[in-house]
């Protein structure tokens, strides 16, 4: 709850004081331009995922590059938190064999650590410690990969968390790219 309030308060601090319709068109351009820049830098970065993740968020139409990075981190945090709930639900069903249960328990631990790292990355980002935020977000992206790879250790095993892992990786990649753009712009 406090994280949402903290982010909400932060957005009010970074919203430009301009004509709203002008800001909306500028920020859609900012979203598109940012997503395009990131997609141009990496073949694994999805322009479509980036734009469809950022544009539906109302505050994204009245913010700047720092705000977009924060939105991506908040979306990653929401994804990770929801994934923990999904894992808890899957574990409570008891429908899985021992291997899958261990994988789910490993993913639970990874995602709990990921949530902690995301909260910390948001905090250090807000005090402009972009290098630390970058390091933490990189670890969060690795969390999703490690979770997914655990299921692949047994041939033919399908992960019930593939979509969540992919989403966390993509959201983390959006935030990482924007932080990189900010660091370059500030010569950090």
Confidence of residue 106 (pLDDT cuts 50, 70, 90): very high
Helix spans in 94-161 (H): 98-126, 130-152
* pLDDT surpasses 80 at 131: yes
Q: Give residue-wise pLDDT tens across range 16-31.
A: 433 333 334 444 589 9
Confidence of residue 116 (pLDDT cuts 50, 70, 90): very high
> Greater confidence, 25 or 158?
158
Domain ranges of the chain: 87-187
The rounded distance, in Å, linking the Cα atoms of 122 and 187 is 21
The rounded distance, in Å, linking the Cα atoms of 37 and 18 is 25
The rounded distance, in Å, linking the Cα atoms of 172 and 6 is 20
Helix spans in the chain (H): 2-14, 20-41, 47-54, 65-93, 98-126, 130-152, 162-185
* pLDDT surpasses 50 at 188: yes
| 114-127 average pLDDT score | 97
Q: Look up the CATH architecture of domain 87-187.
A: Up-down Bundle (1.20)
The rounded distance, in Å, linking the Cα atoms of 32 and 121 is 24
């Amino acid at each position: 709850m406090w994280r949402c309030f903290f982010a909400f308060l932060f957005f009010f601090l970074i919203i430009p004081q301009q004509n709203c319709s002008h800001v909306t068109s500028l920020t859609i351009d900012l979203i598109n331009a940012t997503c395009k820049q990131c997609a141009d830098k990496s073949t694994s970065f999805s322009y479509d995922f980036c734009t469809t993740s950022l544009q539906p968020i109302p505050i994204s139409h009245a913010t700047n590059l720092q705000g977009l990075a924060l939105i991506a981190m908040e979306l990653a945090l929401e994804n990770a938190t929801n994934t923990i709930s999904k894992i808890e639900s899957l574990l409570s069903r008891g429908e899985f064999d021992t291997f899958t249960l261990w994988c789910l328990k490993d993913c639970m631990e990874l995602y709990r650590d990921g949530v902690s790292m995301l909260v910390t990355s948001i905090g250090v980002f807000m005090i402009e410690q972009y290098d630390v935020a970058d390091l933490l977000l990189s670890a969060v992206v690795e969390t999703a990969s490690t979770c997914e790879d655990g299921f692949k250790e047994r041939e033919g095993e399908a992960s019930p968390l593939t979509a969540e892992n992919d989403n966390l990786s993509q959201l983390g990649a959006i935030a990482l790219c924007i932080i990189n753009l900010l660091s370059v712009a500030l010569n950090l």
